[in-house]
A and B are shown apart, each in its own frame.
Chain A
Amino acid sequence: MSAIHQYLDLYESNRELIDSKSAPLLNALRPKAAEALQTMRLPTRGSEDYELTDLEKMLAPDFGVNIARVPLPVDPARTFRCDVPHMSTTLFMLVNDKCAETDTTRRGLPDGVLAGSLRDIAASHPDVLAPYFGHIAPLSNPVVALNSLLAQDGFVLYVPRGVRIEKTIQLVDILSHEAPLMAVRRLLIIMEADSAATLLVCDHTQNAGVQLFNLQTVEVFAGAGARLDIYDLEESSTATSRLSAMYIKQEQNSNVLIDSITLYNGSTRNEYHCKLDGRGAHLRLLGMGIEDDTRHLDTYSRIEHNVPDCTTDELFKYVVDDEATGAFTGRIYVAKGASGTEAYQSNRNLVGSDTARMHSKPQLEIYNDDVKCSHGTAIGQLDPMQVFYMRTRGLSEAKARLLLKQAFMADVLDGIREESLRDRLRHLVERRFAGDTTPCTSCGAEGCKF
């Protein structure tokens, strides 16, 4: 029997409870999601576009879902307290799948901006969210359908027309429970015309060793001329599973940067579905995965150029060691009539051991002349001549390899538009490669990487 049924059963037998703890906008989507799931078969390993991720297997364990919304005791400070210090952000937190108010909530945000709990804002401003919620991510995707079936809360950022938020908005997600738990998170980012914002999303896990699951759907709307940067950072444990489907719809001349950074994880599948629906829209999709031990990271991206004169710049880099596996599937689709498209896709990977595996599938699907497109992939090892050169200057082999791995990720980091964030993330990446997981001496907080 498919793993879907346990979630459908959970929903069928608790509909009222689930609905009562959420908002009508979210509740309205559930029956449609249930209907879609009834006839759906979950992709298994080897299914088209699911080269290395078996959804059936991932979803099979009996994870608890906190549909009754009982408060789960979490000490947020343990995880995030100084993760990105010296960087001033407007901070929000999702504890499992509940948006926790923090001191800085809404403080300093310009008038008209809505930011915070999806449940609360869906209840207070349904008209603002309704045109977008559930309209960008389709229920034909099992991750979206399951998420839509069970999501009761999450995070919203709504930036009205012409409003430009200077300060980075940071969303810290914490997975934490003593027993296996699935957090069903829903994010909705609405950027009206000519607005601007930077969003840093940090996924953390507490209770390393406990099986925790992040089932996430993110809907992003970038209106005409809007500028949006999303940094999607995962620092979780090897026992963590993450299924994330992000859908982005871009209007005319919008400029979106998505940077997917997986520093520590367990088993992760990240999907990025981008529709360039307005002329002159620009998308930069960057990503890095640092995989060792038995970690698994699978990235799927589909970018649709539906109208003329849009540009895409896509780069994913992986370093895969030990017995880790990495997978990248990227497709750029250029529709008939999308003249003047410029789309570049690149996937570069370092494989550091005989038992590590990397799978790469770059794809272009072009139905129009007059386009500039390229794709490329490479899987290789560190250049022995570079290592030797560094050793002749006195660097140990380990140090040489460390510097080269850090350098390998440099162009992904260079794509980060905000300087202080770039410095911080570079530091995190350096520490990651150095294998330095000791807490910083200044606070000693668990999970703190500084």
Chain B
Amino acid sequence: MLKVKDLHARINGKEILKGINLEVRPGEVHAIMGPNGSGKSTLSMVLAGNPAYEVTGGEAEFYGKDLLAMAPEVRSHEGLFLGFQYPVEIPGVSMVNFMRAAVNARREYLGQPPMSATDFLKLMREKRAVVELDTKLASRSVNEGFSGGEKKRNEIFQMAVLEPRLSILDETDSGLDIDALRIVAEGVNKLKTDRNATIVITHYQRLLDYIKPDFVHILYKGRIVETGGPELALELEEKGYDWIKAREDEKEKHDPDKKQL
């Protein structure tokens, strides 16, 4: 469903992604791991279409369509979802209104009439149950005054409502207590089918105790430097990132053109 080829991107003139290659197929769970500052969040922002980032090279196809040419909202309509590392607070916009606008925007894109009030409330109830989201939170402003765990849970709630084909969850384990981690992971697992896929972006292996990846990629200095199965995550947990850093830095030293690859 997703094919990323040699993707380069920068922000504020600084190149962060230096040639990403990645392919994701339906039913798969990918974990992208890497030390801080390796470009993990940039990759998620670029795939979701944050206009602050500039794509300087490469391509990304989503179900055969040029993902990079789509506006962020079109990517959403086409089935891409980004769970934010830092979910944004939007004071004054209630969760209910926000989700209604989101659901109906998608329906409009698909040429369907707006959802009726009763159907919408039913949908909210159903999806709230998936992540055990407090009813009170749903009636509050988007993420405003939510704890770290509640914000993450709210991301999964939105994912449940929008039923994306591909979810990119950015460091969803940061700021999560153990219980919330379980609920988020359970939510992700419950929503998993053989037709959708998930990319989990994380620094720690902890989340992967709950969400089992099929592939683990290590991102370092804007490139995927290692790809393996679940055992790679365990290796990282055990040995840390230093061996990867040392290996890659050594390569770079001997091959000054590596950056351009």
Interface residues of A (CB under 8 A from B): 383-386, 388-397, 399, 403-404, 406-411
Residue of A nearest to B50 (CB): A388
Known: A407-B91, A408-B92. A391 touches B76 (CB 8 A): yes
Q: Assess whether A385 is in contact with B88, with CB atoms less than 8 Å apart.
A: yes
Q: Assess whether B92 is in contact with A407, with CB atoms less than 8 Å apart.
A: yes
Instruction: Looking at the assembled complex, report how far the CB atom of B152 sits from the nearest CB atom of chain A, in whole angstroms.
Output: 14
Q: Which of A396, A404, A410 contacts B105 (CB 8 A)?
A: A396
Q: Which of A383, A395, A411 contacts B101 (CB 8 A)?
A: A395
Which chain B residues lie closer than 8 Å to A407 at the CB level?
A: 90-93, 141
Which chain B residues lie closer than 8 Å to A399 at the CB level?
A: 101, 105
Q: How far is the CA of A70 from the CA of B97 in the complex (A)?
A: 51
Residue of A nearest to B104 (CB): A394
Q: How far is the CA of A410 from the CA of B142 in the complex (A)?
A: 14
Q: How far is the CA of A410 from the CA of B82 in the complex (A)?
A: 28
Grouping DSSP codes into helix (H, G, I), strand (E, B) and loop, the A interface class, with mixed when no group exceeds half, is: helix
Instruction: Looking at the assembled complex, report how far the CB atom of B172 sits from the nearest CB atom of chain A, in whole angstroms.
Output: 15
Tell me how many residues of B have a C-beta within 8 Å of chain A: 32
Among all A-B residue pairs, the 8 with the closest Cβ atoms: A407-B92, A410-B92, A391-B72, A389-B88, A394-B76, A393-B102, A394-B105, A407-B93
Known: A384-B52, A403-B97. A393 touches B158 (CB 8 A): yes
Known: A407-B91, A408-B92, A410-B91. A393 touches B162 (CB 8 A): yes
Q: Assess whether A394 is in contact with B162, with CB atoms less than 8 Å apart.
A: yes
Instruction: Looking at the assembled complex, report how far the CB atom of A102 sits from the nearest CB atom of chain B, in whole angstroms.
Output: 37
Instruction: Looking at the assembled complex, report how far the CB atom of A403 sits from the nearest CB atom of chain B, in whole angstroms.
Output: 5
Q: Which of B50, B90, B109 contacts A394 (CB 8 A)?
A: B109
Known: A384-B52, A399-B105. A392 touches B90 (CB 8 A): no
Known: A394-B102, A395-B102, A403-B101. A389 touches B73 (CB 8 A): no
**CB of B49 within 8 Å of the partner chain:** yes
Q: How far is the CA of A407 from the CA of B82 in the complex (A)?
A: 23
Instruction: Looking at the assembled complex, report how far the CB atom of A325 sits from the nearest CB atom of chain B, in whole angstroms.
Output: 25
Q: How far is the CA of A407 from the CA of B106 in the complex (A)?
A: 22
Residue of B nearest to A403 (CB): B93
27 chain-A/chain-B pairs, Cβ below 8 angstroms: A383-B88, A384-B51, A385-B88, A386-B88, A386-B90, A388-B88, A389-B87, A390-B90, A390-B101, A391-B72, A392-B49, A392-B76, A393-B76, A393-B102, A393-B105, A394-B76, A394-B106, A394-B109, A395-B73, A395-B102, A396-B73, A397-B71, A403-B93, A403-B97, A404-B90, A406-B93, A407-B91
